[in-house]
């Protein structure tokens, strides 16, 4: 069994962050471990408060896991402060995991800022060059690249810019494109590939980005090629969104275990 580590924030409502990552790992048949970077008070309607872990606590968690357990892949999600980013970067350079998927979480679905403005530069400088794969949505890609991204041509330009900054590969997600297109662009510095995306009419999409990046980390750690890992991850998250759970008063979560529930005869449509 592969062992996957998520380094991210905790979501008290269970739909995103560490909780979504661990559910996704379990659904992919890998053993999940966690380093908590922050505790958030949030529900399906939004985030009300964030409490960051100290850099020392982040480092201690990383060292505790790596010193005892083989880590086959790492997914990085919410890291809000420059000090946290530096601690994570130093830990990754020390332990050198074979797979690092970086989801540059900058703002919650409800609009709460999850990455402090001054920390964006630290993320680009310290974490991006360590990434096997970066998974920005369009607003995140705009923040990294410094220009507006409204078209597929600009998505390709953004991908090239991100590779130039040091990432080994990037998946620029097109869900924020206007119109009917929601295609994603995968680029490894040599070959670019457009992957079709469909818009699913649902309000229950809480944790989608966390879920996709965790699926990608699991697939890469299990030995799939970059293209295979992304195609499989997109299929997984699409099914999870199609069967999103009507939980709470706002944006409900995706259904991480729909396939397993179906096989067990437990699924309720």
Q: Among this protein's residues, is 145 annotated catalytic? A: no
Which residue among 9, 207, 244, 252 is the active-site one? 207
Burial state string for 205-215 with b = 16 or more CB within 10 A and e = fewer than 16: bbbbbbbbbbb
Catalytic residue among 209, 233, 244, 252: 209
CA distance 125 to 103: 15
Residue 189 known to be catalytic: no
Catalytic residue among 205, 222, 234, 252: 205
Is 208 known to be catalytic? yes
Is residue 249 annotated as part of the catalytic site, yes or no?
Answer: no
> Computed from CA positions of residues 166, 37, 52, 170, in that sequence, does the dihedral angle turn out positive or negative?
positive
Q: State yes or no: is 94 an active-site residue.
A: no
Distance (Å, whole) CA 136 – CA 155 = 11
Catalytic residue among 2, 37, 210, 222: 210
Active site residue 32: no
Set 6, 59, 208, 254: catalytic member: 208
Which residue among the candidates 75, 109, 154, 173 is catalytic per the annotation?
A: 173
Measured distance CA(10)–CA(268) in Å, rounded: 27
140, 123 Cβ separation under 8 angstroms: no
- In 3D space, the residue among 168, 165, 164, 117 whose CA is nearest the CA of residue 143 turns out to be 117
Catalytic residues: 173, 205, 207-210
């Amino acid at each position: 069994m592969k062992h996957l580590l998520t380094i991210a924030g905790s979501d008290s409502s269970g739909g995103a962050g560490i909780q979504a990552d661990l559910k996704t790992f379990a659904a992919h048949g890998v053993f999940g471990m966690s380093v908590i970077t922050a505790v958030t008070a949030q529900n399906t309607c939004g985030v009300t408060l964030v409490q960051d872990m100290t850099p020392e606590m982040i480092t201690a968690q990383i060292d505790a896991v790596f010193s005892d357990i083989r880590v086959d892949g790492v997914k990085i999600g919410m890291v809000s402060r420059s000090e946290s980013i530096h601690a994570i970067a130093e830990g990754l350079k020390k332990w050198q995991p074979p797979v690092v998927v970086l989801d540059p979480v900058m703002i919650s679905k409800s609009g709460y800022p999850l990455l402090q403005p001054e920390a964006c530069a630290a993320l680009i400088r310290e974490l991006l060059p360590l990434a096997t794969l970066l998974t920005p949505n369009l607003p995140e890609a705009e923040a990294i690249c410094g220009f507006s991204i409204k078209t597929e041509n600009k998505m390709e330009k953004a991908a090239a810019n991100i590779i130039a900054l040091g990432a080994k590969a990037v998946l620029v997600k097109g869900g924020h494109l206007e119109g009917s297109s929601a295609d994603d662009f995968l680029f490894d510095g040599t070959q670019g590939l457009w992957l079709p995306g469909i818009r699913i009419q649902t309000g229950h999409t809480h944790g989608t980005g966390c879920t996709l990046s965790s699926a990608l980390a699991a697939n890469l750690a299990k030995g799939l090629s970059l293209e295979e890992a992304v195609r499989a991850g997109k299929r997984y998250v699409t099914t999870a969104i199609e069967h999103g759970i009507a939980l709470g008063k706002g944006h409900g979560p995706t259904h991480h275990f729909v396939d397993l529930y179906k096989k067990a005869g437990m699924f309720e449509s």
